Amino acid sequence: MSKQYWSSRAATPTSAFPSNDETGTTVSLLILTRYSLRSCAPELAGRVNHALPSRYQTSGPSD
């Protein structure tokens, strides 16, 4: 089971989950999703970008 709680610094839940031999987080999953969408569905990448905390948002395809 993953440990979930709300971060006081962001409007996204902070969660940790196992991924292969590393630990993934909600933010890392959203960043990877945004990056992947840029090549297959660029019109949706902006939605994911908007869901990220402001310090992780980008203004273009510079990830």
Per-residue pLDDT reduced to its tens digit, 20-63: 888 888 888 899 999 999 999 999 999 999 988 889 898 765 54
Other CB atoms within 10 Å distance of the CB of residue 28 = 15
Residue-level pLDDT at 12: 58
Q: At residue 7, does pLDDT exceed 50?
A: no
Does residue 18 or residue 12 have the better pLDDT?
Answer: 18
